[in-house]
Structure 1
């Protein structure tokens, strides 16, 4: 594998601009492969950030917008690590109470959350466009569900600048 193939970005085009996420296959190869596969298939195009909690995170990747949907692909095994932490800009894989239930949903952290460290899979980190993430429409109530949520216009994978 060439060095360029190892370093790829997931790009989310949003109404407010572009978010560039450096993928971390060294931490979570299966989750990164899933994000790339779904982005390349156009799965994330038009998908909302359905659950957004101020000071915590923005969650997307569910085409139904309900928080209960996913792709037709099988769920992924947990890829927890102690080599990275959930800090501002971290992209984690959303899951149910079952640690091995991540599928297509992901979340981007607004702020550090040490309680998630070692409990959720880390698949990347925002390197450009955190100001765009900060503008994602917030939800209400304890669940953070968003009425008329912001949607990903287009998601794609590109080689990272070397």
Structure 2
């Protein structure tokens, strides 16, 4: 076989391989996220390194806005922030949209500031997508909830209240990610 043929065979094999999934075992039930490493390779690699390190085990959903999104990945029940690795570059111009059930990296006003925090869109939020032609805009979608939207909807319906200037939409009863698990690839 020529090098070109080997390359094409490898590419086809990689394309046909099933996508990686991560199961979030939350205090409200399980959420399965299918990751899109093809369109968001840096975000997926970043997310997986946090999962492998156990970073998400014991964090809470600290921002729940019922008509917008649910956010997690940074704080424990005492609102202590977990240490993070260096931020990653923004991958918002990848063709994926912030629609209901999509999973995206949270960030500050600095486009290249995403670390461990992520959110699940509970409604279509296309306004969070990158502006065509404007570098550094939008929020990078890197996955999609494939099972457990009923759990997401249960979390989004949780009663919230402001705690301080940093936590305006904090659930009154803490909702935990008990464990985040990389599931074996299905063939």
In structure 1, the gaps of 5 or more residues are none
Q: Which one has the largest radius of gyration?
A: 2
**1:58 to partner: Cα distance:** 0.3
Between 1:8-17 and 1:136-145, the stretch displaced more is 136-145
Tell me the residue number matched to 2:146: 127
TM-score when normalising by structure 1: 0.88
Correspondences of 1:94-133 after superposition (within 5 Å): 94-118=106-130, 119-133=138-152
8 Å CA contact 1:82, 1:117 repeated in 2: no
8 Å CA contact 2:98, 2:128 repeated in 1: yes
Tell me the residue number matched to 2:186: 161
**1:22 to partner: Cα distance:** 0.5
Root-mean-square deviation (Å): 2.3
TM-score when normalising by structure 2: 0.77
Deviations 1:3-25, CA, capped at 9 Å, x for gaps: 48662001101123211000011
Higher helix share: 2
Tell me the residue number matched to 2:171: 146
Residue 91 of structure 1 pairs with residue 103 of structure 2: yes
**1:147 to partner: Cα distance:** 3.0
Change (3 A) 1:27 1:33: same
**1:29 to partner: Cα distance:** 0.8
Change (3 A) 1:44 1:155: same
Higher relative contact order, chain-length normalized (CA < 8 Å, sep 6+): 1
Q: How many residues align?
A: 162
Correspondences of 1:1-162 after superposition (within 5 Å): 3=14, 7-64=19-76, 69-81=81-93, 83-118=95-130, 119-136=138-155, 137-140=158-161, 143-162=168-187
Deviations 1:4-63, CA, capped at 9 Å, x for gaps: 866200110112321100001122111111111111111101100000001110000013
Distance 1:66 1:105 in 2: 17
